[in-house]
A and B are shown apart, each in its own frame.
Chain A
Amino acid sequence: MTEVGGKKARRKPDDDSACCCNTHSVTAEITLLLNTLRELAAIRSTAEDAAARILDSAEGLLALADKEEAKKAEDAIMSIMTACGFHDLVGQRVTKITENLDRVIATRLTGEEAVAPKTLRRGSDIVLEGPSASPDQARIDALFSKKN
């Protein structure tokens, strides 16, 4: 029974089942989110392992590069190495998603809006956005070439 407007009101049986269903629905939702977080952690770990193995191989190749072909080999190997930067960008994107999901879970559990993700709060007055969909070094260079 619930107090409504100073009178005792009996909740309808349908309300009980709705509440029960809703609880199940929230539990299922949170389980789904937690599983998603686990998958994201696995993606980050897989990307890190892959990048480390590629770098191991590239460093090995660099050491073996034949003198005559060394320059060509070096360029190709350095290109492989820099491409391994995908691990950093994947990691940053996964962190962003993870923090957003953490926030959703906290909100669902407490009913109160959770604080902004850490990535957005880092750097005090500066809001960080993380990796851009279209990074453009030329635009950055243009900003740097401007006075002030």
Chain B
Amino acid sequence: MALDPSLPVLVVDDYKTMIRIIRNLLKQLGFANVDEASDGTAALNMMREKDYGLIISDWNMEPMTGYELLREVRADDRLSRTPFIMVTAESKTDNVIAAKKAGVNNYIVKPFNAATLKSKIDAIFGDAS
């Protein structure tokens, strides 16, 4: 999968600060088409209206968590191949394994830095950025 910086990215987090941080990091990496949602339900609705090339989502949100969003996405024929990165404070081994089994492409534990986000995006898109 080649990285196209014009591809739309959806950032999902219930903390506006975190959305702003990720949006700025993505901008520095060349992504200009970034949308945001504050929970899984809002994100899923947006994904059904627009094609996103990458989802970057927190886990702990209400009413729909990032994990539930991931499962919904992977169960939807049209959305199931969308790359999905979890960015979360949850680092318990069982939870990381559950996310991996649910089909997450990569997992970033908070706090993180720009290099980590870039390396995970590069890993998904074959180091093409």
Option from A51, A74, A75, A89 in Cβ contact (under 8 Å) with B110? A89
Q: How many residues of B contact A (CB 8 A)?
A: 37
Bound-state CA distance A85–B89 (Å) is 11
Option from A78, A92, A130, A143 in Cβ contact (under 8 Å) with B114? A78
Bound-state CA distance A119–B95 (Å) is 14
Option from B21, B62, B92, B107 in Cβ contact (under 8 Å) with A84? B21
B90 contacts A143, C-beta separation under 8 Å? no
Most chain B Cβ neighbours within 10 Å, of A87, A88, A126, A137: A88
- CB proximity to B under 8 Å, residues A104-148: 118-119, 122-124, 126, 128-132, 135-137, 139-140, 143-144
B112 contacts A137, C-beta separation under 8 Å? yes
**A122-B65 contact given A89-B89, A129-B92, A136-B91, CB 8 Å threshold:** yes
A88 contacts B24, C-beta separation under 8 Å? no
B109 contacts A140, C-beta separation under 8 Å? yes
Query: Is B47 an interface position by the 8 A CB rule?
Result: no
Least CB distance from A115 to B in Å reads 16
Bound-state CA distance A7–B126 (Å) is 83
- Select from chain A the residue with minimum beta-carbon distance to B98: A126
A82 contacts B20, C-beta separation under 8 Å? no
| Cβ–Cβ < 8 Å partners of B28 in chain A | 74, 78
Option from A59, A79, A88 in Cβ contact (under 8 Å) with B15? A88
B17 contacts A137, C-beta separation under 8 Å? no
Q: Provide 11 A-B residue pairs closer than 8 Å at the C-beta atoms, listed in order of the A residue.
A: A78-B28, A79-B113, A82-B113, A85-B110, A89-B110, A122-B60, A126-B95, A128-B59, A129-B92, A131-B110, A143-B93
What residues make up the interface of B, taking CB atoms closer than 8 Å to A? 13, 15-18, 20-21, 24-25, 28, 59-60, 62, 65, 67-68, 89-98, 100, 106-114, 116
